[in-house]
Chains A and B, each alone.
Chain A
Amino acid sequence: MGNNIIIRNMNKFYGKKQALFDIDLTIEQGMFGLLGRNGAGKTTLMKTLAALHRKKDGEVIICGIPVEKAKKIRSMTGYLPQDFSMYPNMRTDEALDYLGALSGIPSKERKQRVESLLKKVNLTEHRRKKVKELSGGMKRRLGIAQALLHDPKVIIVDEPTAGLDPEERIRFRNLLCEVAENRIVILSTHIVGDVESTCENIAIMDEGRILWKGTVRELLENARGHIYTANIEKQYMSQIKKEYIVTGMVTQADYTTVRLVSDAEPDLPNAVLTEPDLEGAYMYCLHSNGCNVKGGEE
Protein backbone atom coordinates (compact mmCIF):
# COMPACT_ATOMS: atom_id res chain seq x y z
CA MET A 1 0.00 0.00 0.00
CA GLY A 2 1.62 3.21 -1.11
CA ASN A 3 1.92 6.10 1.25
CA ASN A 4 0.76 8.71 -1.21
CA ILE A 5 -2.29 10.21 -2.82
CA ILE A 6 -2.80 9.71 -6.52
CA ILE A 7 -5.34 11.81 -8.38
CA ARG A 8 -5.78 11.17 -12.11
CA ASN A 9 -8.12 13.03 -14.48
CA MET A 10 -10.57 13.82 -11.76
CA ASN A 11 -13.66 15.88 -12.58
CA LYS A 12 -16.30 17.10 -10.18
CA PHE A 13 -19.67 18.68 -10.92
CA TYR A 14 -22.20 20.52 -8.82
CA GLY A 15 -25.30 19.67 -10.81
CA LYS A 16 -24.49 20.89 -14.31
CA LYS A 17 -21.72 23.25 -13.21
CA GLN A 18 -18.24 21.78 -13.39
CA ALA A 19 -16.16 22.64 -10.36
CA LEU A 20 -12.99 20.61 -10.95
CA PHE A 21 -11.42 19.97 -14.35
CA ASP A 22 -9.07 17.10 -15.01
CA ILE A 23 -7.17 17.23 -11.73
CA ASP A 24 -3.90 15.37 -11.89
CA LEU A 25 -1.74 15.24 -8.79
CA THR A 26 0.50 12.94 -6.84
CA ILE A 27 1.03 13.89 -3.23
CA GLU A 28 3.83 12.25 -1.25
CA GLN A 29 4.52 12.11 2.46
CA GLY A 30 5.20 15.43 4.16
CA MET A 31 3.58 18.84 3.89
CA PHE A 32 1.88 19.62 0.62
CA GLY A 33 0.55 23.09 -0.06
CA LEU A 34 -2.44 23.82 -2.25
CA LEU A 35 -2.49 27.47 -3.16
CA GLY A 36 -5.22 29.30 -4.94
CA ARG A 37 -7.51 32.28 -4.87
CA ASN A 38 -10.95 32.27 -3.30
CA GLY A 39 -13.23 30.22 -5.50
CA ALA A 40 -10.36 28.31 -7.11
CA GLY A 41 -11.84 24.95 -6.10
CA LYS A 42 -9.50 24.11 -3.22
CA THR A 43 -12.27 23.31 -0.73
CA THR A 44 -14.08 21.21 -3.31
CA LEU A 45 -10.91 19.21 -3.90
CA MET A 46 -10.28 18.85 -0.16
CA LYS A 47 -13.81 17.63 0.48
CA THR A 48 -13.52 15.15 -2.37
CA LEU A 49 -10.33 13.75 -0.85
CA ALA A 50 -12.05 13.54 2.53
CA ALA A 51 -14.85 11.51 0.87
CA LEU A 52 -17.40 14.19 1.66
CA HIS A 53 -18.09 14.88 -2.01
CA ARG A 54 -18.38 12.46 -4.88
CA LYS A 55 -16.33 12.88 -7.99
CA LYS A 56 -17.87 12.55 -11.44
CA ASP A 57 -15.03 10.56 -12.95
CA GLY A 58 -11.32 9.98 -12.74
CA GLU A 59 -9.33 8.17 -10.13
CA VAL A 60 -8.47 9.10 -6.58
CA ILE A 61 -6.40 6.66 -4.56
CA ILE A 62 -5.40 7.49 -1.02
CA CYS A 63 -2.67 5.26 0.39
CA GLY A 64 -3.76 2.52 -1.96
CA ILE A 65 -7.48 2.81 -1.17
CA PRO A 66 -9.90 4.20 -3.77
CA VAL A 67 -11.85 7.17 -2.47
CA GLU A 68 -15.14 5.39 -3.17
CA LYS A 69 -14.48 3.28 -0.07
CA ALA A 70 -15.58 6.14 2.13
CA LYS A 71 -15.49 4.35 5.46
CA LYS A 72 -11.91 3.18 5.00
CA ILE A 73 -10.85 6.58 3.74
CA ARG A 74 -12.37 8.29 6.76
CA SER A 75 -10.64 5.94 9.12
CA MET A 76 -7.29 7.05 7.76
CA THR A 77 -7.89 10.72 7.05
CA GLY A 78 -8.27 13.56 9.47
CA TYR A 79 -10.14 16.60 8.18
CA LEU A 80 -10.21 20.12 9.48
CA PRO A 81 -12.92 21.97 7.55
CA GLN A 82 -12.76 25.62 6.61
CA ASP A 83 -15.70 26.48 8.88
CA PHE A 84 -14.83 24.09 11.67
CA SER A 85 -17.36 24.04 14.47
CA MET A 86 -18.65 21.70 17.13
CA TYR A 87 -21.81 21.44 19.22
CA PRO A 88 -21.62 24.70 21.10
CA ASN A 89 -22.67 23.43 24.53
CA MET A 90 -20.17 20.58 24.68
CA ARG A 91 -17.06 21.09 26.75
CA THR A 92 -13.77 20.99 24.87
CA ASP A 93 -12.73 17.63 26.26
CA GLU A 94 -16.24 16.23 25.77
CA ALA A 95 -16.21 17.35 22.14
CA LEU A 96 -12.91 15.53 21.55
CA ASP A 97 -14.17 12.48 23.36
CA TYR A 98 -17.33 12.43 21.26
CA LEU A 99 -15.41 12.76 18.02
CA GLY A 100 -13.03 10.07 19.21
CA ALA A 101 -15.99 7.79 19.77
CA LEU A 102 -17.18 8.58 16.25
CA SER A 103 -13.72 7.55 15.07
CA GLY A 104 -14.13 4.18 16.73
CA ILE A 105 -11.37 4.64 19.32
CA PRO A 106 -11.87 2.44 22.37
CA SER A 107 -12.60 4.20 25.63
CA LYS A 108 -9.28 3.83 27.47
CA GLU A 109 -7.21 4.76 24.43
CA ARG A 110 -9.52 7.65 23.71
CA LYS A 111 -9.02 9.10 27.15
CA GLN A 112 -5.24 8.97 26.77
CA ARG A 113 -5.33 10.49 23.31
CA VAL A 114 -7.61 13.31 24.35
CA GLU A 115 -5.25 14.16 27.20
CA SER A 116 -2.17 14.13 25.04
CA LEU A 117 -3.78 16.09 22.22
CA LEU A 118 -5.09 18.76 24.53
CA LYS A 119 -1.55 19.13 25.78
CA LYS A 120 -0.11 19.15 22.26
CA VAL A 121 -2.43 21.94 21.10
CA ASN A 122 -2.15 23.82 24.37
CA LEU A 123 -5.78 23.54 25.37
CA THR A 124 -5.37 21.67 28.65
CA GLU A 125 -6.27 24.64 30.81
CA HIS A 126 -9.33 25.32 28.64
CA ARG A 127 -10.57 21.75 28.62
CA ARG A 128 -13.65 22.47 30.70
CA LYS A 129 -14.73 25.46 28.64
CA LYS A 130 -17.66 25.03 26.33
CA VAL A 131 -16.92 25.14 22.62
CA LYS A 132 -18.91 28.34 22.22
CA GLU A 133 -16.67 30.04 24.79
CA LEU A 134 -13.44 29.35 22.88
CA SER A 135 -11.73 32.07 20.87
CA GLY A 136 -11.14 31.65 17.14
CA GLY A 137 -7.56 30.46 17.64
CA MET A 138 -8.55 27.99 20.34
CA LYS A 139 -11.28 26.60 18.11
CA ARG A 140 -8.78 26.01 15.34
CA ARG A 141 -6.47 24.24 17.75
CA LEU A 142 -9.39 22.09 18.83
CA GLY A 143 -9.99 21.48 15.15
CA ILE A 144 -6.50 20.19 14.52
CA ALA A 145 -6.66 18.12 17.68
CA GLN A 146 -9.82 16.36 16.49
CA ALA A 147 -8.23 15.74 13.10
CA LEU A 148 -5.34 13.95 14.84
CA LEU A 149 -7.41 11.89 17.23
CA HIS A 150 -7.38 8.62 15.38
CA ASP A 151 -3.73 8.97 14.26
CA PRO A 152 -4.56 9.30 10.58
CA LYS A 153 -2.14 8.77 7.74
CA VAL A 154 -3.49 11.77 5.88
CA ILE A 155 -4.46 15.12 7.34
CA ILE A 156 -6.40 17.60 5.27
CA VAL A 157 -6.56 21.14 6.59
CA ASP A 158 -8.65 23.68 4.73
CA GLU A 159 -7.67 27.31 5.28
CA PRO A 160 -6.66 26.71 8.88
CA THR A 161 -5.04 30.07 9.62
CA ALA A 162 -7.64 32.43 8.15
CA GLY A 163 -8.61 34.88 10.85
CA LEU A 164 -5.78 33.97 13.26
CA ASP A 165 -3.38 36.51 14.71
CA PRO A 166 0.34 36.25 13.72
CA GLU A 167 1.34 34.44 16.89
CA GLU A 168 -1.45 31.91 16.52
CA ARG A 169 -0.59 31.48 12.87
CA ILE A 170 3.05 30.69 13.61
CA ARG A 171 2.06 28.29 16.35
CA PHE A 172 -0.35 26.55 14.02
CA ARG A 173 2.24 26.17 11.26
CA ASN A 174 4.75 24.71 13.69
CA LEU A 175 2.16 22.26 14.90
CA LEU A 176 1.42 21.17 11.36
CA CYS A 177 5.09 20.65 10.62
CA GLU A 178 5.40 18.51 13.69
CA VAL A 179 2.51 16.29 12.68
CA ALA A 180 3.71 16.03 9.08
CA GLU A 181 6.49 13.66 10.06
CA ASN A 182 5.46 10.23 8.70
CA ARG A 183 2.17 11.58 7.37
CA ILE A 184 0.72 13.31 4.37
CA VAL A 185 -0.52 16.76 5.34
CA ILE A 186 -2.36 18.75 2.71
CA LEU A 187 -2.61 22.41 3.54
CA SER A 188 -5.11 24.27 1.43
CA THR A 189 -4.80 28.03 1.69
CA HIS A 190 -4.80 31.35 -0.10
CA ILE A 191 -2.19 32.74 2.29
CA VAL A 192 1.20 32.32 0.62
CA GLY A 193 3.04 32.78 3.91
CA ASP A 194 1.52 29.56 5.27
CA VAL A 195 2.90 27.55 2.41
CA GLU A 196 6.24 29.32 2.35
CA SER A 197 7.15 28.38 5.87
CA THR A 198 5.95 24.79 5.85
CA CYS A 199 5.72 23.12 2.46
CA GLU A 200 8.24 21.72 0.08
CA ASN A 201 5.81 20.66 -2.61
CA ILE A 202 2.91 22.75 -3.78
CA ALA A 203 0.25 23.00 -6.43
CA ILE A 204 -1.52 26.13 -7.60
CA MET A 205 -5.18 26.05 -8.53
CA ASP A 206 -7.43 28.45 -10.28
CA GLU A 207 -10.99 28.07 -11.58
CA GLY A 208 -11.05 24.38 -10.85
CA ARG A 209 -7.80 23.57 -12.60
CA ILE A 210 -4.25 22.80 -11.52
CA LEU A 211 -2.15 25.56 -13.03
CA TRP A 212 1.17 24.45 -11.73
CA LYS A 213 2.69 21.76 -9.55
CA GLY A 214 6.15 21.17 -8.27
CA THR A 215 8.48 22.24 -5.50
CA VAL A 216 8.70 25.67 -3.99
CA ARG A 217 12.22 25.94 -5.35
CA GLU A 218 10.97 25.25 -8.87
CA LEU A 219 8.23 27.86 -8.55
CA LEU A 220 10.79 30.41 -7.46
CA GLU A 221 13.08 29.40 -10.33
CA ASN A 222 10.20 29.87 -12.73
CA ALA A 223 9.75 33.42 -11.62
CA ARG A 224 13.44 34.26 -11.81
CA GLY A 225 13.97 37.20 -14.10
CA HIS A 226 10.44 38.44 -13.68
CA ILE A 227 10.43 40.04 -10.23
CA TYR A 228 11.66 43.60 -9.90
CA THR A 229 11.88 46.29 -7.30
CA ALA A 230 11.68 49.99 -8.05
CA ASN A 231 11.38 53.25 -6.15
CA ILE A 232 8.36 55.15 -7.32
CA GLU A 233 7.30 58.64 -6.41
CA LYS A 234 4.00 58.80 -4.73
CA GLN A 235 2.22 60.69 -7.46
CA TYR A 236 2.91 57.87 -9.93
CA MET A 237 1.78 55.05 -7.70
CA SER A 238 -1.75 54.70 -9.06
CA GLN A 239 -0.41 54.55 -12.59
CA ILE A 240 2.14 51.85 -11.66
CA LYS A 241 -0.59 49.78 -10.07
CA LYS A 242 -2.59 49.93 -13.28
CA GLU A 243 0.27 48.93 -15.52
CA TYR A 244 2.06 46.30 -13.45
CA ILE A 245 1.26 43.54 -10.98
CA VAL A 246 2.42 44.97 -7.67
CA THR A 247 3.11 42.33 -5.04
CA GLY A 248 4.59 44.44 -2.28
CA MET A 249 4.99 48.08 -1.21
CA VAL A 250 7.11 49.75 1.44
CA THR A 251 6.37 53.42 1.88
CA GLN A 252 9.38 55.65 2.52
CA ALA A 253 9.46 59.39 3.10
CA ASP A 254 9.18 60.65 -0.50
CA TYR A 255 8.76 57.49 -2.44
CA THR A 256 7.47 53.96 -2.27
CA THR A 257 9.57 50.90 -2.90
CA VAL A 258 7.45 48.51 -4.90
CA ARG A 259 7.93 44.90 -5.76
CA LEU A 260 6.37 44.01 -9.07
CA VAL A 261 5.92 41.17 -11.49
CA SER A 262 6.64 41.74 -15.14
CA ASP A 263 7.31 39.53 -18.17
CA ALA A 264 10.03 41.87 -19.43
CA GLU A 265 12.11 44.56 -17.79
CA PRO A 266 9.73 47.35 -16.76
CA ASP A 267 10.08 50.71 -18.36
CA LEU A 268 11.05 52.38 -15.11
CA PRO A 269 14.27 54.27 -14.46
CA ASN A 270 15.35 52.46 -11.31
CA ALA A 271 13.81 49.02 -11.69
CA VAL A 272 16.16 46.35 -10.37
CA LEU A 273 15.88 42.63 -10.96
CA THR A 274 15.36 40.90 -7.64
CA GLU A 275 15.43 37.42 -6.16
CA PRO A 276 11.87 36.14 -6.40
CA ASP A 277 9.87 35.52 -3.22
CA LEU A 278 7.06 32.99 -3.09
CA GLU A 279 4.34 35.57 -3.22
CA GLY A 280 5.76 37.13 -6.34
CA ALA A 281 6.39 33.73 -7.86
CA TYR A 282 2.78 32.75 -7.15
CA MET A 283 1.47 35.93 -8.76
CA TYR A 284 3.75 35.41 -11.74
CA CYS A 285 2.48 31.89 -12.11
CA LEU A 286 -1.13 33.08 -12.14
CA HIS A 287 -0.28 35.82 -14.60
CA SER A 288 1.67 33.58 -16.93
CA ASN A 289 -1.22 31.14 -17.01
CA GLY A 290 -3.54 33.82 -18.24
CA CYS A 291 -5.32 34.57 -14.98
CA ASN A 292 -6.61 38.06 -14.52
CA VAL A 293 -4.38 39.22 -11.72
CA LYS A 294 -4.98 42.56 -10.02
CA GLY A 295 -2.17 42.82 -7.51
CA GLY A 296 -2.48 46.18 -5.73
CA GLU A 297 -4.67 47.81 -8.36
CA GLU A 298 -7.20 50.32 -7.03
Chain B
Amino acid sequence: MTSGCLARMVSSDVKHNFLIHYLAAAAVLLITPVIFGLAELDRSMAALPLETMPPLMGLILLTPLFSPEQNEGILDTVRSKKTSRQLVIGMRVLCALAVLAILIAALGGYMKYNSCEVTLGMCAGAFAGAAALGALGFFSSALTDNVIVGYMVSVMYFFMDLFLKNKLGRFCLMSMSCNIKGSKPVLAVTAVVLIAAAMLFRRVFRNEQ
Protein backbone atom coordinates (compact mmCIF):
# COMPACT_ATOMS: atom_id res chain seq x y z
CA MET B 1 0.00 0.00 0.00
CA THR B 2 1.73 3.16 -1.16
CA SER B 3 1.21 6.48 0.52
CA GLY B 4 -0.11 7.77 -2.79
CA CYS B 5 -2.88 5.18 -2.69
CA LEU B 6 -3.73 6.04 0.88
CA ALA B 7 -3.83 9.73 0.10
CA ARG B 8 -6.05 9.13 -2.90
CA MET B 9 -8.41 6.92 -0.93
CA VAL B 10 -8.73 9.46 1.82
CA SER B 11 -9.15 12.47 -0.45
CA SER B 12 -11.75 10.73 -2.64
CA ASP B 13 -13.62 9.46 0.37
CA VAL B 14 -13.71 12.85 2.05
CA LYS B 15 -14.65 14.73 -1.11
CA HIS B 16 -17.52 12.51 -2.14
CA ASN B 17 -18.80 11.00 1.06
CA PHE B 18 -18.01 13.15 4.05
CA LEU B 19 -17.39 16.74 3.02
CA ILE B 20 -20.94 17.72 3.87
CA HIS B 21 -20.53 16.30 7.37
CA TYR B 22 -17.29 18.19 7.91
CA LEU B 23 -19.05 21.37 6.80
CA ALA B 24 -21.98 20.68 9.14
CA ALA B 25 -19.58 20.23 12.06
CA ALA B 26 -17.86 23.49 11.10
CA ALA B 27 -21.30 25.16 11.04
CA VAL B 28 -21.83 24.01 14.63
CA LEU B 29 -18.54 25.67 15.54
CA LEU B 30 -19.59 28.90 13.83
CA ILE B 31 -22.94 29.14 15.64
CA THR B 32 -21.35 28.59 19.06
CA PRO B 33 -20.55 32.28 19.66
CA VAL B 34 -24.13 33.13 18.64
CA ILE B 35 -25.62 30.80 21.27
CA PHE B 36 -23.09 31.31 24.04
CA GLY B 37 -21.26 34.32 25.31
CA LEU B 38 -17.60 33.40 24.81
CA ALA B 39 -15.87 36.32 26.46
CA GLU B 40 -14.40 36.68 29.95
CA LEU B 41 -15.75 33.42 31.27
CA ASP B 42 -14.29 31.85 34.34
CA ARG B 43 -13.35 28.18 34.33
CA SER B 44 -16.73 26.74 35.22
CA MET B 45 -18.64 29.02 32.83
CA ALA B 46 -16.13 28.32 30.04
CA ALA B 47 -16.72 24.60 30.45
CA LEU B 48 -20.34 24.94 29.35
CA PRO B 49 -19.82 25.76 25.64
CA LEU B 50 -16.88 23.34 25.55
CA GLU B 51 -19.10 20.52 26.75
CA THR B 52 -22.23 21.37 24.79
CA MET B 53 -21.15 22.00 21.21
CA PRO B 54 -18.17 19.63 20.65
CA PRO B 55 -20.27 16.50 21.38
CA LEU B 56 -22.62 17.60 18.59
CA MET B 57 -19.61 17.91 16.28
CA GLY B 58 -18.45 14.43 17.30
CA LEU B 59 -21.87 13.01 16.61
CA ILE B 60 -22.02 14.59 13.14
CA LEU B 61 -18.49 13.45 12.21
CA LEU B 62 -18.38 9.88 13.52
CA THR B 63 -21.90 8.49 13.24
CA PRO B 64 -22.21 8.26 9.43
CA LEU B 65 -18.87 6.59 8.68
CA PHE B 66 -20.49 3.34 7.51
CA SER B 67 -23.27 4.94 5.51
CA PRO B 68 -21.65 5.27 2.02
CA GLU B 69 -21.70 1.49 1.72
CA GLN B 70 -25.25 0.90 2.89
CA ASN B 71 -25.95 -0.12 -0.71
CA GLU B 72 -24.92 -3.76 -0.93
CA GLY B 73 -23.66 -3.40 -4.50
CA ILE B 74 -21.16 -0.73 -3.43
CA LEU B 75 -20.19 -2.71 -0.34
CA ASP B 76 -19.40 -5.86 -2.34
CA THR B 77 -17.40 -3.89 -4.90
CA VAL B 78 -15.17 -2.15 -2.36
CA ARG B 79 -14.92 -5.20 -0.10
CA SER B 80 -13.53 -7.29 -2.95
CA LYS B 81 -10.48 -5.03 -3.20
CA LYS B 82 -7.07 -5.70 -1.68
CA THR B 83 -7.26 -2.85 0.83
CA SER B 84 -8.96 -4.12 3.91
CA ARG B 85 -12.22 -2.55 4.88
CA GLN B 86 -10.88 -2.09 8.38
CA LEU B 87 -8.16 0.15 7.02
CA VAL B 88 -10.64 2.26 5.07
CA ILE B 89 -12.92 2.68 8.10
CA GLY B 90 -9.91 3.29 10.32
CA MET B 91 -8.76 6.10 8.03
CA ARG B 92 -12.24 7.61 8.12
CA VAL B 93 -12.23 7.51 11.90
CA LEU B 94 -8.80 9.16 12.08
CA CYS B 95 -9.82 11.89 9.65
CA ALA B 96 -13.02 12.56 11.58
CA LEU B 97 -11.11 12.74 14.87
CA ALA B 98 -8.52 15.03 13.32
CA VAL B 99 -11.22 17.41 12.08
CA LEU B 100 -12.87 17.23 15.50
CA ALA B 101 -9.60 18.12 17.21
CA ILE B 102 -9.05 21.07 14.87
CA LEU B 103 -12.55 22.41 15.46
CA ILE B 104 -12.27 22.09 19.25
CA ALA B 105 -8.82 23.69 19.18
CA ALA B 106 -10.31 26.58 17.18
CA LEU B 107 -13.11 26.97 19.71
CA GLY B 108 -10.71 26.83 22.66
CA GLY B 109 -8.34 29.25 20.95
CA TYR B 110 -11.12 31.72 20.26
CA MET B 111 -12.29 31.57 23.85
CA LYS B 112 -8.74 32.02 25.14
CA TYR B 113 -8.30 35.01 22.86
CA ASN B 114 -11.43 36.47 24.41
CA SER B 115 -9.99 36.22 27.92
CA CYS B 116 -11.79 33.05 28.97
CA GLU B 117 -10.14 30.76 31.52
CA VAL B 118 -9.63 27.89 29.08
CA THR B 119 -6.81 25.39 29.48
CA LEU B 120 -5.42 22.71 27.22
CA GLY B 121 -6.76 20.16 29.67
CA MET B 122 -10.28 21.51 29.23
CA CYS B 123 -9.96 21.27 25.46
CA ALA B 124 -8.68 17.71 25.79
CA GLY B 125 -11.63 16.97 28.04
CA ALA B 126 -13.99 18.43 25.46
CA PHE B 127 -12.39 16.23 22.80
CA ALA B 128 -12.86 13.14 24.97
CA GLY B 129 -16.56 13.88 25.44
CA ALA B 130 -17.07 14.62 21.77
CA ALA B 131 -15.25 11.46 20.70
CA ALA B 132 -17.28 9.40 23.16
CA LEU B 133 -20.62 10.64 21.87
CA GLY B 134 -19.54 10.23 18.27
CA ALA B 135 -18.24 6.74 19.03
CA LEU B 136 -21.62 5.82 20.51
CA GLY B 137 -23.31 6.79 17.24
CA PHE B 138 -20.59 4.97 15.26
CA PHE B 139 -21.06 1.82 17.32
CA SER B 140 -24.87 1.89 17.08
CA SER B 141 -24.87 2.35 13.33
CA ALA B 142 -22.27 -0.43 12.94
CA LEU B 143 -24.39 -2.84 14.94
CA THR B 144 -27.70 -2.12 13.26
CA ASP B 145 -26.33 -1.23 9.81
CA ASN B 146 -28.59 1.78 10.01
CA VAL B 147 -27.26 5.32 10.28
CA ILE B 148 -30.62 6.63 11.54
CA VAL B 149 -30.38 4.38 14.58
CA GLY B 150 -26.83 5.66 15.08
CA TYR B 151 -28.02 9.26 15.13
CA MET B 152 -30.96 8.34 17.33
CA VAL B 153 -28.90 6.74 20.06
CA SER B 154 -26.26 9.46 20.14
CA VAL B 155 -28.68 12.41 19.89
CA MET B 156 -30.85 11.01 22.65
CA TYR B 157 -27.85 10.30 24.86
CA PHE B 158 -26.82 13.91 24.39
CA PHE B 159 -30.23 15.18 25.40
CA MET B 160 -30.56 12.75 28.29
CA ASP B 161 -27.21 14.07 29.44
CA LEU B 162 -28.54 17.64 29.33
CA PHE B 163 -31.39 16.67 31.61
CA LEU B 164 -29.88 14.01 33.84
CA LYS B 165 -26.37 15.47 34.20
CA ASN B 166 -24.83 14.04 37.39
CA LYS B 167 -27.11 11.01 37.36
CA LEU B 168 -24.91 9.62 34.60
CA GLY B 169 -21.88 9.74 36.88
CA ARG B 170 -18.59 9.36 35.08
CA PHE B 171 -20.39 8.99 31.75
CA CYS B 172 -21.73 12.50 32.03
CA LEU B 173 -20.60 14.65 29.09
CA MET B 174 -20.96 17.81 31.19
CA SER B 175 -18.63 16.71 33.95
CA MET B 176 -16.51 19.87 33.93
CA SER B 177 -19.60 22.09 34.33
CA CYS B 178 -21.05 19.81 37.02
CA ASN B 179 -17.78 19.31 38.83
CA ILE B 180 -17.67 15.54 38.39
CA LYS B 181 -14.08 14.36 38.69
CA GLY B 182 -12.44 11.59 36.72
CA SER B 183 -15.01 11.56 33.97
CA LYS B 184 -12.94 12.62 30.97
CA PRO B 185 -10.47 9.70 31.03
CA VAL B 186 -13.46 7.35 31.29
CA LEU B 187 -15.05 9.00 28.26
CA ALA B 188 -11.79 8.78 26.31
CA VAL B 189 -11.49 5.08 27.06
CA THR B 190 -15.17 4.59 26.21
CA ALA B 191 -14.61 6.20 22.82
CA VAL B 192 -11.69 3.91 22.04
CA VAL B 193 -13.57 0.82 23.22
CA LEU B 194 -16.71 1.62 21.24
CA ILE B 195 -14.80 2.34 18.03
CA ALA B 196 -12.75 -0.84 18.39
CA ALA B 197 -15.85 -2.88 19.25
CA ALA B 198 -17.71 -1.55 16.22
CA MET B 199 -14.87 -2.45 13.87
CA LEU B 200 -14.48 -5.85 15.46
CA PHE B 201 -18.18 -6.51 15.15
CA ARG B 202 -18.13 -5.64 11.45
CA ARG B 203 -15.10 -7.82 10.92
CA VAL B 204 -16.44 -10.86 12.72
CA PHE B 205 -20.15 -10.75 12.02
CA ARG B 206 -20.31 -8.98 8.67
CA ASN B 207 -17.06 -10.39 7.34
CA GLU B 208 -15.74 -6.91 6.55
CA GLN B 209 -12.06 -7.62 6.61
Does B4 touch A at the CB level, under 8 Å? Answer: yes
Instruction: Pick 15 A–B contacts, CB within 8 A, sort by A.
Output: A52-B80, A71-B84, A71-B209, A74-B80, A81-B80, A83-B76, A86-B77, A87-B16, A97-B8, A97-B12, A102-B5, A104-B2, A104-B5, A104-B82, A107-B5
On chain B, the residues within 8 Å of A51 by CB distance are 80, 209
When C-beta atoms are compared, the residue in chain A nearest to B6 turns out to be A101
Q: Quick one: given A101-B12, A103-B83, are A85 and B2 in contact (CB under 8 Å)? A: no
Taking residues whose C-beta sits less than 8 angstroms from the other chain, chain B's interface range is: 20 to 34
On chain B, the residues within 8 Å of A110 by CB distance are 5, 8
Question: Cα distance A82–B73 when bound, in Å?
Answer: 8
A106 lies within 8 A of B76 (CB): no
Task: Type the 1/0 row for B184-198, where 1 means its CB is closer than 8 Å to any CB of A.
Answer: 000000000000000
B76 lies within 8 A of A98 (CB): no
Q: How far is the CB of A56 from chain B (nearest CB, A)?
A: 13
Instruction: Tell me the count of chain A residues lying within 8 A, CB to CB, of chain B.
Output: 37
Task: Type the 1/0 row for B80-104, where 1 means its CB is closer than 8 Å to any CB of A.
Answer: 1111100010000000000000000
Does A146 touch B at the CB level, under 8 Å? Answer: yes
B9 lies within 8 A of A98 (CB): yes
When C-beta atoms are compared, the residue in chain A nearest to B74 turns out to be A85
On chain A, the residues within 8 Å of B73 by CB distance are 81-85
Chain A interface (Cβ < 8 Å from any Cβ of B): 47, 50-54, 70-71, 74-75, 77-79, 81-87, 89-90, 94, 97-99, 101-107, 110, 143, 146, 150
Q: Quick one: given A85-B73, A90-B12, are A99 and B78 in contact (CB under 8 Å)? A: yes
B74 lies within 8 A of A102 (CB): no
Does B112 touch A at the CB level, under 8 Å? Answer: no
Q: How far is the CB of A15 from chain B (nearest CB, A)?
A: 12
On chain A, the residues within 8 Å of B88 by CB distance are 102
Question: Cα distance A260–B6 when bound, in Å?
Answer: 57
Question: Cα distance A150–B79 when bound, in Å?
Answer: 15
On chain B, the residues within 8 Å of A77 by CB distance are 80
On chain A, the residues within 8 Å of B84 by CB distance are 71
B8 lies within 8 A of A99 (CB): no
